[in-house]
Amino acid sequence: MTGIVQLQNVTKTIKGKTIIDSLSFEVKKGEVFGFLGPNGAGKTTTIRMMVGLIGMTSGDIKIGGHSIQSNFEQAVRQVGAIVENPEMYKFLTGYENLIHFARLSNQVNKEKIDEVVKLVNLSDRIHDKVKNYSLGMRQRLGVAQALLHEPEVLILDEPTNGLDPAGIREMRDHLKKLTREKGLAVIVSSHLLSEMEMMCDRIAILQKGKLVDVQTIQDFKTGVDQEIEFDVVPIEKALAIFQTMSILARRGETGITCSIKKVEIPSVVKRLTSENVEIFGIKEVTKSLEERFLEITEEREVSLHV
């Protein structure tokens, strides 16, 4: 099955500067797709192109097979989005905002509005003016307006920005529910990996406008050598032994940390005991996604500069 969203060699140049450089990837129905990259990587720019707010210099974006460039109305009909902050009409109530956006898409009736209001848990405040809403409520109203016309694709640009942990968790459960129950494709951008980890099925890593990698979260987590920490005495002697075995090791918090594969552990232990080094503990240090992310982007940085 081809993806509901397809980016094909999308390039955006502004004033001679290439901001997005031949970006290609697909997003399938029923998955939460993370769009990850440090600030200024070009996430928002890519999202703006996906919803037709800005044009592209070359390439094409298709949504449900319709090009956003040549068949804007058909393509955008299938998309609900928040681009950057969910800015609403502050002088209107939440409900009036929803009516406003409902009128811009055909076939949205009152029942549908009530349904999405309930879905995002805004029922008791929906008739308040938006200027009195908290950031979390605005985010939820933003999601509500994006879901009004029952889109196939939901695009959220940094939806957890400014939310507290409870809000983030709520958002996450929401998105999972939407993909499971309605088969939506959800694209979420973020510069924080820890959020993506819990939320996404697959992630694309963007850096300086270039796609670094697209992976499932599982592959992403396990794609490297394990960090193993040896709690040993004496440390100096052990370090020397690691050196002779040509294993890169360094002093860790409580002992020595090194990057080796799991299968190599027994041979290292044998060698250490035979040299009379006392082993008090061996533990696996799971790398956080954050570190993994930095690792990938740094590798990339190096290879870019060579």
Tell me the closest approach of the beta carbon of residue 40 to ligand ADP, in angstroms.
4
Q: Which of 44, 71 has the CB closer to Mg ion?
A: 44
Site for Mg ion contains 257 (CB under 5 A):
no
Instruction: Determine the residue with CB nearest Mg ion.
Output: 44
Give the integer Cα–Cα distance in Å for 107 and 120.
20
User: How many CA atoms lie less than 13 Å away from 61 in the CB half-sphere?
Assistant: 26
Name the token pair of 276.
Answer: 């009379």
Q: Are strands 185-190 and 153-157 parallel, antiparallel or unpaired?
A: parallel
Determine which residue in the list 8, 18, 19, 252 makes contact with ligand ADP, applying CB under 6 A.
19
Q: Select 184 or 249, whichever has its Cβ closest to another protein.
A: 184
- Could you say whether residue 34 binds ligand ADP (CB under 6 A)? no
Given Mg ion, ligand ADP, another protein, none, residue 163, with its beta carbon under 5 to 8 Å by kind, binds none
Written in H, E and C, the secondary structure of the chain is: CCCCEEEEEEEEEECCEEEEEEEEEEECCCCEEEEECCCCCCHHHHHHHHCCCCCCCEEEEEECCEECCCCHHHHHCCEEEECCCCCCCCCCEHHHHHHHHHHHCCCCCHHHHHHHHHHCCCHHHCCCEHHHCCHHHHHHHHHHHHHCCCCCEEEEECCCCCCCHHHHHHHHHHHHHHHHHHCCEEEEEECCHHHHHHHCCEEEEEECCEEEEEEEHHHHHHCCCEEEEEEEECHHHHHHHHHHCCCCEEECCCCEEEEECHHHHHHHHHHHHHCCCEEEEEEEECCCHHHHHHHHHHHHHHHHHC
Q: Of the candidates 41, 83, 196, 238, which one interacts with ligand ADP according to CB under 6 A?
A: 41
Kindly state the smallest distance separating residue 244's Cβ from Mg ion, in Å.
Answer: 49
44 near Mg ion (CB under 5 A):
yes
Among 3, 5, 45, 64, binds ligand ADP (CB under 6 A): 45
Q: How far apart, in whole angstroms, are the C-alpha atoms of residue 266 and residue 260?
A: 11
Structure tokens at 208: 């300086």
Q: Residue 37, interface with ligand ADP (CB under 6 A)?
A: yes
Range in contact with ligand ADP (rule: CB under 6 A) among 37-45, 59-67, 170-178, 231-239: 37-45
Site of interaction with another protein (CB under 8 A): 48, 51-55, 72-74, 76-77, 79, 81-85, 87-92, 96, 99-101, 103-106, 145
Considering the complex, state which of residue 157 and residue 195 has its C-beta at the smaller distance from another protein: 157
Q: Which one, 44 or 215, has the nearer CB to Mg ion?
A: 44
**Least gap, CB of 290 to Mg ion (angstroms):** 19
In the complex, minimum distance from the CB of residue 80 to another protein, in angstroms, rounded to a whole number: 8
Which residues share a beta bridge with 258?
228, 249
Q: Tell me how many residues contact ligand ADP (CB under 6 A).
A: 10
Q: Which stretch binds Mg ion (CB under 5 A): 44-52, 98-106, 115-123, 269-277?
A: 44-52
> What are the residues facing 20 on neighbouring strands?
12
Nearer to ligand ADP, 39 or 107 (CB): 39
Closest contact distance (angstroms) between CB of 162 and ligand ADP is 15
Shortest reach from residue 20's CB to another protein, in Å: 13
Provide the minimum distance between the beta carbon of 46 and ligand ADP in the complex, in angstroms, as a whole number.
7
Site residues for ligand ADP per CB under 6 A? 14, 19, 37, 39-45
